[in-house]
Amino acid sequence: MEEAAACKGLMRWVKLHPTNISQKVRIIVEHFHANVAHLLEGKAKAMVVTDSRKAAVKYKKAIDAYIAKRAAMDASYNYRTLVAFSGSVTMAENEEWASDWGPQPSKDDEFTEANLNPGAGSNPAAAFNGATYKIMLVANKFQTGFDQPLLSAMYVDKKLSGVTAVQTLSRLNRTHRTAGGEQKRKTFVIDFVNKPEDIRAAFEPYFTNATLETETDPYIVVHLATKLAQAGIYTPEQVREVAELWVTRKGNNALSAAISPAKNNFARRYAAAIEADDKVTLNTLDLFRKDVSTYVRLYDFMSQIVDYGDPYMEMLSIFLRLLGLGKHRGRCVRVVDRFGRRRWVARRSEWGWAVAAVRFRRRRAGSSGLLAGRVVVCGVR
């Protein structure tokens, strides 16, 4: 028991060490600045979930210090923070403390909502509802029953499980439309602590077929970019052309013309594979389509944290999103001969009609061909 307590105390010391907190603070502030602050006409907000009042105090001090340093170089870092917890907390006499957090506190110095949020009033929730404050740091408060439609990002540094995990993360699910018509379509969760399988297990009793991807290696995106290029569906020149047209807002007609060669190339290959009943090629093209979706999703997520340093990867994300190779869902049509036997199969999808002709022998030996028949629509699949 003594060994376990000592280990727990050491891990606690590491977690609250200024170096550890400062590294997470940099991720939080830079992610919020690049991906969140501009949403909802610049009114989007974020919550930092900590596991103790002491952690909330240190995060508050660290974030304010980091923002002040960045604002000295870039005035757009003009974010203000609130902290929310009940009661008061003191620091140990030998508490690890960063010099840019302000004076080292003594063991008698008490931290409260009131002295950490000067000018915010006695109700942090009401203050956060206004335009002044963008980031709220909480410790066992506002994780349930807190309704803030502008909340668009959550940074979690607390172990969550069961209904607490569901209630905490669900703070993000409030819908919102701004006065200018912008809808809340993006939410972000960056979790420094919890394992994906634990969060999935927490949600499964409440949400049917709950799924959650595991941790992602940032270099999977690089691998996917190489794999997709090897398929020969598009060229680097086409990627750059489409991305430039999209960035410079040249219009849908120009974009459609530029993306058509790659889209038509894929459609021709898919149709030819169906006609030849080439299951290997069909599976390869289906995998390509799946990889397109995976690249767009993973790049959008990982580029928030990782600077890949390659503009082409951003161009490729734009190109593949516009390529629009969604899941194959189409109307299947059969051509049936006069004996009731199916001879043609046609699938209607976003890539056009792909017709597979199935040859057969007539009853007369030595002759073959297609008999006159009728078309039967057999539904969507």
Looking at residue 65, which CATH number applies to its domain? 3.40.50.300
**Domain check: are 167 and 62 in the same one?**
yes
Is position 104 within any domain?
yes
To which residue do tokens 């190109």 refer? 319
**What distance lies between CA 310 and its chain's CA centroid?**
20
**Residue with the larger pLDDT of the pair 105 and 144:** 105
Q: Give the domain-ending residue among 203, 227, 247.
A: 203
HSE of 224, CA atoms in CB hemisphere, 13 A: 23
Assigned token pair, 72: 């000295």
> Among residues 331, 337, 330, which one has the least CA distance to residue 375?
337
pLDDT digits (tens, 9 = 90+) for 209-241: 666 655 567 788 999 999 999 999 999 999 999
**Domain check: are 183 and 288 in the same one?**
no
pLDDT digits (tens, 9 = 90+) for 284-329: 999 999 999 999 988 887 887 777 888 999 999 999 999 987 554 4
**Domain check: are 49 and 144 in the same one?**
yes
Phi, psi for residue 196 in degrees, rounded to 5: -55, -40
Instruction: For residue 52, give the DSSP letter.
Output: S
Q: For the chain, give the percent of residues with pLDDT over 70.
A: 79
Range of the domain at 244: 219-323
**Domain check: are 189 and 241 in the same one?**
no
Is position 4 within any domain?
no
**Domain check: are 144 and 195 in the same one?**
yes
Is position 208 within any domain?
no
Binning pLDDT at 50, 70 and 90, where does residue 363 land?
Answer: very low
Q: pLDDT at position 7, please? A: 56
**Domain check: are 198 and 119 in the same one?**
yes
Q: pLDDT at position 333, please? A: 42
Three-state SS string over 91-145 comes to CCCCCCCCHHHCCCCCCCCEEEHHHHCCCCCCCHHHHHHCCCCCEEEEECCCCCC
Contact 236, 312 (CB under 8 A): yes
Contact 40, 152 (CB under 8 A): yes
**Domain check: are 272 and 251 in the same one?**
yes
pLDDT for 142 beyond 50: yes
**Domain check: are 190 and 268 in the same one?**
no
264-288 burial, b at 16+ Cβ within 10 Å, e below that, comes to ebbbebbbebbeeeeeeebeebeeb
Q: For the chain, give the percent of residues with pLDDT over 90.
A: 58
Q: Give the domain-ending residue among 280, 305, 323.
A: 323
Look at residue 331 and give its three-state secondary structure: strand
Is position 71 within any domain?
yes
Is position 319 within any domain?
yes
Number of domains forming the structure of the chain: 3
**Domain check: are 187 and 310 in the same one?**
no
Assigned token pair, 61: 């001090």
Look at residue 317 and give its three-state secondary structure: helix
